[in-house]
Amino acid sequence: MRSIHRAVVTGGAGFIGSHMVDLLLAQGVDVRVIDNLSGGNESNLAHQSGNAHLRVDIRDIRALSADDPLFEDVDTVFHFAGIGDIVPSIEKPIDYIDVNLQGTVRVLECSRYSRVERVVYAASSSCYGLANVPTPETHRISPQYPYALSKHLGEQACLHWHHVYGLAVNSIRIFNAYGLRSRTTGAYGAVLGVFLRQKLAGAPFTVVGDGEQSRDFVYVTDVAEAFRAAATTDLVGQAWNVGASRPQTVNRLVELLGGESVHIPDRPGEPRCTWADTSAIARDLGWKPVVNFEDGVAKMVANIEMWRDAPLWDTASIAEATEGWFRYLSPGDAVPS
Q: Can you tell me the distance from the alpha carbon of 83 to that of 187, in angstroms, rounded to the nearest whole number? A: 11
Q: Can you tell me the distance from the alpha carbon of 48 to that of 51, in angstroms, rounded to the nearest whole number? A: 7
Q: Can you tell me the distance from the alpha carbon of 256 to that of 295, in angstroms, rounded to the nearest whole number? A: 10
- How is residue 213 annotated by DSSP? -
Residue type, 275: W
Residue 212: CB atoms within 10 Å: 12
Q: Is 121 a catalytic residue?
A: no
Cα within 13 Å of Cα(141), Cβ side: 14
**Residues for the chain: how many in total?**
337
Q: Which one of 96, 128, 145, 147 is the catalytic residue?
A: 147
DSSP SS3 for 115: coil
Q: Can you tell me the distance from the alpha carbon of 190 to that of 253, in angstroms, rounded to the nearest whole number? A: 13
Q: Can you tell me the distance from the alpha carbon of 190 to that of 182, in angstroms, rounded to the nearest whole number? A: 8
Q: For residues 135 and 275, is the Cβ–Cβ distance under 8 A?
A: yes
Q: Can you tell me the distance from the alpha carbon of 242 to that of 263, in angstroms, rounded to the nearest whole number? A: 30
Catalytic residue numbers? 147
